[in-house]
Amino acid sequence: MVMSGERPGPEPAEHATGAVGAGGAPMSLRERKKRLTYEAVSEAAIAMFLERGFDKVSVAEVAAAADISKPTLFRYFPTKEDLALHRFADHEDEAARVVAARADTESPLDALHRHFLAGLERRDPATGLCDVPAVVAFTRLLYGTPSLVARLYAYQSRSEEALARALGDGTGDRLAAGQIVAVLRILGLENWRRIDGGESADRAYGPAVEAAELAFAQLRSGLEARR
């Protein structure tokens, strides 16, 4: 899945101070402070990467801009790439969460199909169909930096693993998860190519929906045959 990142602006409400953590439990003060630090350091780094380029900004410069020491920065972000991709961590288990939260009458594939179409409708950056200038700039930075692309694939691999567990974690479930995550990634990339080529999200919406319908029909014909 292309996770072009959340918008490089305000975090969603559930990620703000006083919000909930994993499993819906309220965040402790320590967790909230840690999240705020993560966000502040990451946003400072991304702003510098966008201005000067990822490879031209050192970790030491990011630490100085965030007013923390370099060792402290590495405690939060083990690698320089994590500074840019930290926000994707919340998306790693997104497909798994959709499957787990579906109604008993809804199949996993139908739930993921519905979720992806809803993302297209609201122009979610994770679908690739978002022409907000800040998102476009960040996505160009991402795909223009080989080390960030390589790290993104690691996030997608963990997304696949989480989805496989949600499906049952058998061999067939792992095969299904691999196919689903690959389809979501390709759909997102196709949407991003349209945006990067100058199309507006509104103009690209129709073709994006058509591509999604085709992709999920192909998945359904193969995956549901094994059930």
pLDDT surpasses 90 at 16: no
Going by C-beta distance under 8 Å and a sequence separation of 6 or more, which residues neighbour residue 5? 85, 87, 88, 125, 135, 138, 139, 142
More confident: 85 or 209: 209
- Across the chain, mean pLDDT equals 86
pTM here? Answer: 0.80
Mean pLDDT of 12-18: 38
| pLDDT digit string, tens, across residues 164-213 | 999 999 999 999 999 999 999 999 999 999 999 999 999 999 999 999 99
pLDDT surpasses 60 at 5: no
Residue 101 parent element (H or E): helix 94-101
pLDDT surpasses 60 at 6: no
pLDDT surpasses 90 at 102: yes
Q: CA separation (Å) from 175 to 110, 112, 161, 188?
A: 17, 16, 10, 20
What confidence score (pLDDT) does residue 15 get? 39
Mean pLDDT of 96-120: 97
What confidence score (pLDDT) does residue 12 get? 36
How many angstroms separate the CA atoms of 2 and 205, rounded? Answer: 16
